[in-house]
Amino acid sequence: MQAPLTIQVDYSLHAYRSLTTERWVDAMAEVSAKVGRPVNRWERAVSLAFWQLVVTVVWAVKRFRVGRCIFHLDAEGVTRNSARMGALHAPWSRFRRVQALPSGWLLHTDRGAIALPKECVSAAQEEALIALVPPALWSAPT
């Protein structure tokens, strides 16, 4: 049995923007596949500018509403504790997939995603995180 993992996250705008922009790149590829053509430069530029604006607003709201978080990951799922919002538990069955990105991980649920920036995770914690996530979630489609 894998030991539980605790990760303290205090989202910086830079880390949050990096993670979400990496997700935006994937989203653009998904849009291209759906429309059957590459997204042109103009569409990408407008989309990215809008994305950056929205991400900044979402980050500010998240910082105000949630603040600093402590995530506990174990065999049962993920619990987020914050002074402002209290504890919220999500079992692994609520997650659709876990996406590894260069600047962190996105744990996708049916209602959104939990962002875990690499700047908040040590090498040992990274290994534990990879071991704790059910293998099927790493390869799940969007």
Q: Tens digit of pLDDT for each residue in 92-128?
A: 999 999 999 999 999 999 888 888 999 999 999 999 9
CA dist 142 and 139 (Å) reads: 9
Q: What is the pLDDT of residues 43-90, one digit of tens each?
A: 888 888 888 899 899 889 888 888 889 999 999 999 999 888 888 999
Share the mean pLDDT of the chain.
88
CA dist 13 and 10 (Å) reads: 10
Dihedrals phi, psi of 74, to nearest 5 degrees: -150, -170
CA atoms within 13 A on the CB side of 94: 15
Kindly indicate the confidence band of residue 18, based on its pLDDT and cuts at 50, 70 and 90: confident
Q: What is the 8-class DSSP label of residue 133?
A: S
67: left (phi over 0), alpha (psi -120 to 50) or beta: left
Overall pTM surpassing 0.85 (yes/no): no
